[in-house]
Structure formats: C-alpha cells, structure tokens
Structure 1
Amino acid sequence: MCHPLPCTSQEYYKKFLYEAFPVESHLHHYLHDNLNAEVVSGIIENKQDAVDYLTWTFLYRRLTQNPNYYNLQGVTQRHLSDHLSELVENTLSDLEASKCVAIEDDMDLSSLNLGMIAAYYYTNYTTIERFSSSLTSKTKMKGLLEILTHASEYSQLPIRPGEEEVLRRLINHQRFSFENPKCTDPHVKANALLQAHFARQHLGGNLALDQREVIISASRLLQAMVDVISSSGWLSLAILAMEVSQMVTQGMWERDSMLLQLPHFTKELAKRCQENPGKSIETVFDLFEMEDDERRELLQMSDKQLLDIADFCNRFPNIDLTHEVQKSDNMRAGGEITLQVTLERDLEGRIDVVTVNAPRYPKAKEEGWWLVVGDTKTNSLLAIKRVSFLRRTKVKLEFAAPSEAGEKNYILYFMCDSYLGCDQEYEFTVDVKDAAGPDEDSGSE
C-alpha cells in the first residue's frame, strides 16, 4: 500500500520540479588565464581595470546571492570590494611570479613574452611557465615528451577504475621508459598514450577517446613550446619540437620509414621498398618518380589502393623555395640582416591541398610551416616565422648581424608541422661590414 508523502517532502520535491537550480560561477578558479588574456589584449591596463572587469561578470552577480559558496564574510559593498581586490591581487601576483605579466609601480600592468604565448595558444599559464623553467638547450626527445605531457591541460585526464593494470602494461611497452611511474598520474597516462600513438599500438574503448584528446592538445601545446624555445634562442631543440609536431600528426616515430605516412603501407612493405633492386625507395618523392609499371609491381596493390597512394603523393608538399639576402647599409656588425624568402607550389587546380592527409590524426588539420634562420656552430636560433600559404607567398626574416665583421654562414630551415620528409635546408653566407663610424654616419669622408 502506498502512503502519501508528508507535506514537507512534497514541497521539497516541488522545488526541484518547478524552480531552476542555481548555477554558480567558476571564474575564480580560472581567473589567471582570463586576466592574462585581457592584459595581453590591452583591455586591462592596471589593477583597478581588473577589479572593474570583474564587476561585469556573472561571478560578481552571484557573490551577493550565495556568499558562502565564494567564502565571503558579508555582502556589504565593503566586503565585495575587499574580496575582489584580494582576488585580483593574488591572481596578478601569481602571473607576475610566472613571468607572464609585469607590474609597475604596484599598479600598472603590461604583458610579457610568456603571457603573450599563453594567450595566443589558449594554454594554461602554468603550462607555459613549466615549459620555460623545464626546457634546456640540451633537452632530448625523452625529456621533451615528459615536459610536454606534464602540461596542466592533461591534469584532468581521467583515471578510471580498473585502468591501472592496463596502463601498467601499456607503459612497459613504450620506447622511452618511465622512472617509478604512477599509473594513477594523468600525466604519466598522457605520456603513455602519446608514445602508443607514435608506435601505432591499437587502443580501444575509453583509452582511444582519451588518446584522441591527448593528440589534439599536443599539436597546440607543441606550437606554444616552439615559441618558448625560440625565445631562448635554442636552434636544435626548436627543430626537435617541430619534428615531434610532425610525429603527432602522422602517428609515427621520427626514426620510422617516411613511407609509413602513405595509406596501406606496412613496415614490411616499407622495408621491401627500401630493398628495391636498382634504386632504394625511401621517400615519398622516390615513390612518386617511379614509372607506373615499376610502382605497381613493387607495391602489389589493388587499383583502388594505388589511387589512394597517388592521391597522397599529389597532396604531399612539393614546394619551391628561393631566398636572397637583401643588400642594405645596415648590414654591418651590430646591425640587421634581412632575408627575403619566396615560397611557391603548383596545385594543379586543387584548392584543398593544404588539408593534411593524416588518417591517424583525430580531426581535419591544415598545413603549417616554420621558417627558421639558425647558426649551427653556436646552436643559436636567430629568426623564426610561422607561415601558412596556398600557392605563393613572400616572407621577410630579419635578424641581428654578428658583432664582428666578416663572412658568416647561416642555415635557413623550412619545416612542416604535419609531414615528415618534406623539410628543406639551405646554407647561405653573409658578408658583414665593419660598423659605421661617426664620419660614415654623418655622410662625410
């Protein structure tokens, strides 16, 4: 027999049926990145601007409605003002300690390089701080992957009940070992999933979904990492980070055969191509240049598979690069050097070629490129520019001339963020004159 609910219970459940649940703001938990972005954009120029900014948010509206939730001691104007001032003060102090924001005269705010990188790539300010403090000029592949996967963006990666043993087995089968790995650490899991992606190990269920998120975040984080490295002027590490970006997109290690980027290719087939009598086939360009009959005999694929191969080869970047050092009176010791770079390719009527052919990447991705000028003798990165283009573009790279006159050798790198095997290198020499003296500056002899 059913008994009617007491009146008090009826009223309680009616409240859930007929009244909306209160929605609280979580802005105070993510305020660092919001304020950093507003400082970078110039919306917030001082601490008072930051307090005024908060008064226009949903957080401000909820403070008086549910003060206990936000740890307010009262709801008077004085309490609100003190709470917002303290919130802004603590947040900006953290950003200053992280070298994202500079505070002048204890009031005025200005953005620093790390803050600009964090805002541009929508990354957590603590991630950029970690990149800056952990990377060194001698960091290798293993260390780079550890630093990358310790990004704050991976801290919320779920560790589900029963996953620990699966993760332990996954960790034990990766290229780079883990020192005292904690299978309950989301950063360790992110590292294992990323290495499994490079090794093309099959994952199913929730692990595959987690791996998808790890991969997508990794591309953006690596772009931010390249900017952090470039700020320190480390050439070899910047090139390494760019190569890791290629690995993430294609799902393979840098030591694997470049032919594994092609559809339907296996390690066995790549090895057969490499051992091809007459001419070893090691790159996409080698395969593209073969006669049709020879290629068909070597690959032993169906017509449909061969069409897929042909489509990939047609989309693979084949870019003509020319460069020229611009002559100028400023090309003297301590002056400035300008390098003009022209990039061009024939798309043969196609306009979608900038979409990367990467079936192992979870979503559509467009080609991106870096132009880099470096000095290999000193491992110095002198200039870098991110490039995206369709058919033709011209780019100027400006960098400081050496402090001493004479001939100086540099390397121009053209690096892709999505394909392996299409990068280009060019050596060029600059004849730097002596610094102009007072007589030369004034135009007298």
Structure 2
Amino acid sequence: MIRHLILPEKYAPPTELLDLQPLPVTALRNARYEGLYSAFKHFNPIQTQVFTVLYNSDDSVLVAAPTGSGKTICAEFAILRNHQKAVSGETNMRVVYIAPIEALAKERYRDWSKKFGEFARVVELTGETAADLKLLDKGEIIISTPEKWDALSRRWKQRKPVQQVSLFIVDELHLIGSEKGHVLEIVVSRMRRISSHIGSNIRIVALSASLGNAKDLGEWIGATAHGLFNFPPAVRPVPLEIHIQGVDIANFEARMQAMAKPTYTAITQHAKSGKPALVFVPTRKHARLTALDLCAYSSAEGGGTPFLLGSQDEMDTFIGGVNEETLKNTLRCGVGYLHEGLSDLDQELVTQLFLGGRIQVCVASSTMCWGRSLPAHLVVVMGTQYYDGRESAHTDYPITDLLQMMGHASRPLQDNSGKCVILCHAPRKEYYKKFLFEAFPVESHLHHFLHDHMNAEVVVGVVENKQDAVDYLTWTFMYRRLNKNPNYYNLQGVSHRHLSDHLSELIETVLNDLESSKCVAVEEDMYLKPLNLGLIAAYYYISYTTIERFSSMLTQKTKMKGLLEILASASEYAELPSRPGEEEYIERLVRHQRFSIDKPKYGDPHVKANALLQSHFARHTVVGNLAADQREILLSAHRLLLAMVDVISSSGWLTLALNAMELSQMVTQGMWDRDSVLLQLPHFTRDLARRCQENEAKPIESIFDLAEMSIDEMRDLLQLSNSELQDVVQFFKRFPNVDMTYEVREGDDVRAGDNVTLQVTLERDMTNLPNSEVGPVHAPRFPKTKEEGWWLVVGDSSTKQLLAIKRVTLQKRARVKLEFTAAAEPGSKDYMIYLMSDSYLGCDQEYEFTVDIKEAGGD
C-alpha cells in the first residue's frame, strides 16, 4: 500500500529578514499619517522590509510572520496608500477587512475607529442583511467576519458596493486550515473572481502566521514573487525564549492540579521585578482555581502579596465595582482572571488593571487568546488540551491557538525579549518542539463543506451548469493544493486526467445531495436550476440540511411544541459544545420546562438548544458557559425562523405560519406567547402584570391600555420610582402603534380564479419618536440590537389557507401590494388580512374582508 503514497511537494525556503536600516515614520511623507505613529520613531524590521511593496505599489501581498510581529501595521500601510489614491480621485476608498474570529473583528473595529475615524468612516457589519447593505454603502473601512461578508457578497452581481471594493485585507489567513476556514477560502476566491470578471484590480493583502506552504497561498491570492513574505517563526521583533516542560500524569484534572506549582515557579523565575505574566488555562473553572492557587502559593512563600503592584487602598477603590466575589479576593493579592462568563464590566476592569501595571498576573481561559490586547513579558500555557464534548475526550489545542497565546509575550517598546513556558502532557513534548519552532503547512477543508457554497452560487446564477461548477472550484485554494498534496485530498494521481475526474466526482456527489434535498434541480444531466428550498437556504444563510429537515418535519398539524423541536433540530446547533458535568444541569432544565422532550439524550446539542430556548422564554437565568451557548442559539434563531416561515408559507399553512411568527416574537422578547404582553415593559414582573390585569377601575390587558392612563394614575397603579416610570413612558414611544387600511383594487369586478390585488397602507404614529426615526427594538433579553420587521399575510377564513405573504420594513409609512387568486366558486367570500410583528407581542392586527366573486367569463 505504502508505495502508492505520493509525498507532498517540498516547501519553498522562508523569506530572509534583511539587515535594513530601520525605516523612520517620516517615510510616509504625509504629516497626518505620521501623526498616527507618533508613539514610535521608526518601524520594526519586518515592517521596514515590506513597506515599499505595501505603501508604494498596488500589488497583492502576503505577509506571513509570527504573532506579535506588528503585521496589523503592515495592513495599515495598504490602507493609507488606498486613502491617498482616493483623495486624488484615482480609486474608491472602500476597504474591507476580514477577521476569522468575531472577537478579533471587534478589537480591530475599536482600534481603527479611534485611529482612522477622522479621515474614513469605519463600520462593522452586523449580520443583518438590510442593516449591512446600508453600512456597506456608507462605510469606507468595512470590518467583517468571513460569514457576514459571504452572506453579503454572494449577490455581488446586483450589489455595486461589493464590486467597488478596492482593497481586501484578510487577517490570520493561516486559519484557512481550521474548522471554519472554508468560508474564509470562499470569500477570498470570490474577490479574485469578481476582480477578473469586472476587469478592475481588487488588491488583496493577507496576513498570516509563518507558513510551510506560503508560496501556494501567495499565488492563490494573486501575489507576485516580490509581494510574498514568509518569515520563519524565530524572526520576531521581540525575540521569544520558549521553554517546554512535560508533566507525566495521565489523568487530565490531576495533571492540571500538578501544573499549578510549576506555573507559580515560572512566574517568580521569569517575570522578575513585577513584569506582567499571563497564564492561559483550558476553561473558566481552571481560571478561577489557578488564580486562587497562585494567591495561596504567594502568601505561603512570600508572606505577603508580591503580585500586587498598586497599593492596597488603591485596589480597594477598584474592587468596589467588581461583581464576582472570588475575583475580588484574588485581585487583592494581585492576580486577576478573565473568562467569557464574567460580566463585560469585570472583564474590562481586570484588563485595565493588568495593562495599567496594578496587578502582575492575569489568568485567562484559552478562548480569550483571540481579540484581546494583553501584552505580557511572560506567557505560561498551563496545559495544552481541552475537553471536547462531541468527542467525549480531551483534545489538543489547535496549533493556531497556541501560536496566538505565545504571541502575547511581546511588549515591543518595553522588553528586549519575551518568555513563554508551555506545560504539557509529557508524551506531547516532542510534538510541540517540532511544531512551535518550524513553520507549518495549511490545507483546505473546502471539500467537506462544499454543499452550501455550491447551492448559493446556483441561486445567484454564477453556477448555471456542471462546467461552471468546475470553473468555480478552480478559483479555490483547494484546487491549488490538490496536486501538491494528493493523498490529503484522496487523489489517486496527479495527471490532468486524475485531477478532472476527481473534481467531476466531487461535483456530482455535491449536486446529487442538493438535488435529493430539493434545493437544486439538475436538468438534462447538465443544467442547474435553484428550487424554492435552495433559494430560502441561500437567502437566509442556512445549511441545506436544515432547510431539508424543516421541510420534511413540518406538517399542517404541527403545534408550538413541535415548532420548537424543529427549530432546535437545525444543523446550525449541531456545533454547540458539550462540557463535562453539563448533562445533569441540562436534565434539570428539561424537567422544569413547559414542553417535555421525548426520550431526551442530555448530551445532544439539539436537546440543549431546546432546553435553553425554553428557559429563555420562561426567563430562567442560566449562567456561565450555558449563558454563552444560549446567546449563540438566540443569535441564529431569527434567521432560522425567517426561513421556517418561508417554508411554511410555500405549503400555504396559515395557522402554522402565524405560530412561527409568534415564536419569533418570543425569541426577541424572552417570554412565552401565553404570558402577559406587559412583561415586555421595563421593570415589569409577573406580579406587577397581574396587578394591572386585576385593576378595579379598568383591567389593563394590553400595552395600549396602560399607555392611555395619565402619569398619576400610572404612578398609583405601578408604584415604580420616577426614573423607572420614565423608562416605561420611553417604551410607549417606541412601541409600534400602526394604523392599517386596505382596499381590493379590482373593486366590483373580481371573477372566479382571477388575480386579486390588495392595496395595504400602513401608517405609524411617530409623534413621540426622537428624530422621527424608528430605532432598534426594545429587547433587553435579546443578545444584540435588532431592527424590527413585519409580515403582511392574506388567508382564507374558511380553509385556513395562506394565500399571500410579504415581509415589510416599516418606518413612518408603507404602501404594499399583495396579490392572491380568487376562489374558483362565485359568491361572497371571506378573507383575513394579518399584520404580524417579528419582535413585539401584542401589536399584531387582523381584519376580515369580503370579496364578491362573479362567475368566470360572465358579464
């Protein structure tokens, strides 16, 4: 067998770091630009070497260098070049920056808004299409994750602003080899393709860690030989001393406990005279325990608080605002910790105390290595494994995460060198020695994730037949790697024939799956046509397996319980992590929910999604990791529900569509459909809602009932403080009060089977709104700001058939036409029209109207 193996190609040698005269900041030849870098006199050796090609040319460039090398500033050279050309009218100022991790995108947005805000509009995409199109239109530096840019740029043929991008910056490009790398690969391939299609140069600048196969990545983004820089891992502006220590204990938790003492020793040895030390641990539990251990060792040995760099009194002032008790105690001894479960305020406080040099040690959970600027003199990686619930086993951190952690040991203007101590399970020691001192190659994962990308291209008409599908793949990084490392991609040989057979087979498989899930039709074995389910999946950026599941599980008889189960079954939720000890907690949640789950497996991510959705509606607070999971679930729920409503309306099921719309309101407001609508009001509790309903003078059932009361009556009834009452009044201003009128356009002359046009006019009361603008929805329980949306629906009163539906955004006034087919029998026929919100309960409207239908063809 082994003789059939085709070995991967040898890699090109890395770029040598030249001994150049450090470039002064004045090389920018522009006083405004030089002002941005007043903190340092000249650029570092890597920035100096890449400066000319980035700042004085329009070539595409790949800069691969270790984390902490100042690559972001290299990208800024390209932005300043773009700005200079835009000022002189040579090009558009439309720069897109892609960060593969949400936290990085946020950090970049904060940083660049401050830095470039004066001469460019910096915007961050939200993931909501309507809002993002506006941002894209007015933004000059657009910050996004690959997924958000993918969703927006798929329709590039209709979207001029996408075609007008002049500079496309991709950060952390080595993450193309990670689990979500396929989306990164698709968006870069698409930008190259757009550029060739419209014949204008979109400059691509990519930043990456040191790579084994940088040449392939460079050629793929269109960089020429002099635009390709791949510095070896040892070349750092601040040299890094790396120590790897093995701990020979097989049990994970016991090994973690045994690592606390060597971590303490590493800090006392390598971070002398109060230099900052950052410790990475696998989970939030370990962050808390390790911080306590370090405090215990320091008081036992030092007999004081050697890690506390500020005075105790000063510390007490800061600690006043901290929520978490344990954190208060560890901060008093100069050790802070960070994990996703801390409130934003606590996280910010610990970060500032660490950066401000008031505490010496910060312990962070492993995921915090991305998107936070925490430069330190010493980084200790305490354990290199985490528990992977899906595999029910402990798994190594991705190398990319480890490199990111090590990159924090760099303080360019303060230290001559950084230090890193890696504590790992003894058998892994050699593995890390190899990988951390040599550049590693990256491969594509696109072949495992091709279905949704292919479906989207069929929907927008970029791929119209099987030949187009093959052409589409030739733009990808995967295509470049196929014959370089054939075994990895299951190729039998590297001849042209092998390659084309392999691609044809891959495309056949993908298209067959899309065809059997009713997303795409294949005609005459060649031509591809998008079907309704495929259109819905691509439009809402949802997996084809989810839409297939929705379509096969929904029936006309589905009730709210079933809707919830179907929503929770979405493939998007299959990735939810499962952690040790969590199953008992999920079981407790499930037991106390309104809807039981049949034969639940408590380790199943879909059961978790269902339980966390129900606890959101019941307003049971979940904490820690589960709160983070719940946030993820809610963020996808809206897209999934919009898609679900479309699937249901395609079948014409009226009641079910209205129920799914109510489910969308429940997700936004965090309450059940049977709860009092008054619970949407600020400061309202179930008791207060009950008091309103039992009000003797007049039972208060709706928000409008309450809004009609005078402020004194309200004060008496609610017994809230003045500022709380003010919040309630502000809510009334935001709550949609819509006047709906409608008329049947054909009036007297509707015949059986004709098309009927219903003209609907919606007018909203805007009198009390600030700037006469409908702001985002008041939804404190939803994890991000949300714009409101509406559905207009026409249904048949007797058969409960849904006849027409339209999605509407409503500011002050909207006129909407709805078309439906009149009944086949003549006579007087009753229809219903509904206006349904996707965000608020208690403001929907329904009216009955009658159409007199004459005989077809008669006078």
Among 609, 633, 636, the residue aligned to 1:214 = 633
- Alpha-carbon contact 1:330-1:336 (below 8 Å) kept: no
TM-score (norm 2): 0.49
1:105 correspondence with 2:524: yes
SS at match of 1:353: coil
Q: Which residue of 2 aligns with 1:144?
A: 563
Paired residue for 2:677?
258
Q: CA RMSD in A?
A: 1.8
The residue aligned with 1:394 is 815
Structure 1: how far apart are the matches of 2:436 and 2:587? 44
Shift of 1:14: 7.2
- Of 731, 749, 753, the match for 1:334: 753
Structure 1 position 331, deviation (Å): 2.6
Residue 312, structure 1, aligned to residue 731, structure 2: yes
Task: Give the letter aligned to residue 405 of structure 1.
Answer: P
- The change in CA–CA distance for 1:124 and 1:271 in structure 2 (over 3 A counts) is same
Overall identity of the aligned pairs, in %: 68
2:813 counterpart of 1:403: no
Matched length: 430
Secondary structure of 1:24's aligned partner: coil
Q: CA offsets, 1:313-332, max 9 Å, x none?
A: 11000011110000279731
Whether 2:269 is the aligned partner of 1:269: answer no
Check conservation: 1:235, 1:376, Cα contact below 8 A.
Answer: no
SS at match of 1:268: helix
Deviation per residue, 1:105-131 (Å, 9 max, x gap): 001000000000000000000111111
- 1:13 Cα deviation after fit: 4.9
CA distance in 2 between partners of 1:67 and 1:164 (Å): 42
Q: Does 1:229 align with 2:632?
A: no
User: Corresponding residue for 1:416?
Assistant: 837
Please give the secondary structure, in 2, of the residue aligned with 1:421.
Answer: coil
Equivalent residue for 2:603, pick from 164, 184, 188: 184
1:101-140 residue pairs with structure 2 within 5 A?
Answer: 101-140=520-559
Q: Which amino acid aligns with 1:207?
A: L
8 Å CA contact 2:832, 2:849 repeated in 1? yes
Q: Distance in 2 between matches of 1:407 and 1:241?
A: 30
In 1, Cα distance between equivalents of 2:435 and 2:637: 45
How many Å separate the matches in 2 of 1:291 and 1:15? 71
User: d(CA) in 2 for partners of 1:191 and 1:291?
Assistant: 42
User: Displacement of 1:270 after TM fit?
Assistant: 0.5
CA, structure 1 residues 49+307, in 2 after alignment: closer, same or farther (shift >3 Å)?
same
Deviation at 1:353, TM superposition (A): 2.3
Q: 1:17 aligns with which of 429, 434, 437?
A: 437
| Cα distance, 1:346 vs structure 2 | 2.8
Structure 2 residue 855 is the aligned partner of structure 1 residue 434: yes
Pick one of 365, 370, 373 that aligns with 2:791: 370
Query: What is the DSSP-based 3-state SS (H/G/I as helix, E as strand, rest coil) of the residue aligned with 2:750?
Result: coil
1:367-424 per-residue CA deviation (whole Å, 9 max, x = no partner) reads: 1000000013111000000000211110000001111111110000000000000000
Of 53-62 and 408-417, deviating more is 53-62
Tell me, yes or no, if the aligned pair for 1:245 and 1:417 is still in contact at 8 Å.
yes
Summarize the Cα distance change of 1:237–1:14 in structure 2 as closer, same or farther, 3 Å threshold: closer
Distance 1:330 1:69, change over 3 A: farther
Q: Tell whether 2:510 aligns with 1:84.
A: no
Task: Indicate conservation of the 8 Å contact 1:229/1:238, yes or no.
Answer: yes
Residues 307 and 433 (structure 1), Cα distance of their counterparts in 2 relative to 1, 3 Å cut: same
For the residue of structure 2 that corresponds to 1:420, the secondary structure is coil
Preserved CA contact (<8 Å) 2:749 2:854 = no
Corresponding residue for residue 714 of structure 2: 295
Note the C-alpha offset of 1:16: 4.2
How many Å separate the matches in 2 of 1:104 and 1:329?
Answer: 44
1:443 corresponds to which residue? none
2:537·2:643 contact (CA, 8 Å) conserved in 1? yes
Give the deviation of 1:18 after TM superposition.
5.1
Q: TM-score, normalised by structure 1?
A: 0.94
Is residue 649–residue 657 contact of structure 2 (8 Å, CA) maintained in 1?
yes
**With CA pairs under 8 Å and 6+ residues apart, which has the higher RCO, 1 or 2?**
1
In structure 2, the gaps of 5 or more residues are 1-242, 244-428
Q: In the aligned structure 2, how far is the partner of 1:262 from the partner of 1:66?
A: 60
- CA shift digits 1:303-344 (9 cap, x unpaired): 110011011111000011110000279731111000000011
Shift of 1:362: 0.3
The separation in 2 between residues aligned to 1:159 and 1:57, in whole angstroms, is 33
> Following superposition, which runs of at least 4 residues in structure 1 exceed 2 angstroms of deviation?
12-19, 328-331, 348-354
CA apart distance, 1:73 = 1.2
1:171 aligns with 2:590: yes
Q: Is the 8 A contact 2:762 2:813 kept in 1?
A: yes
AA aligned opposite 1:434: E
Check conservation: 1:330, 1:337, Cα contact below 8 A: no
CA distance in 1, matches of 2:653, 2:464: 32
Letter of the 1:271 partner, please give it.
Answer: R
1:241 counterpart = 2:650: no
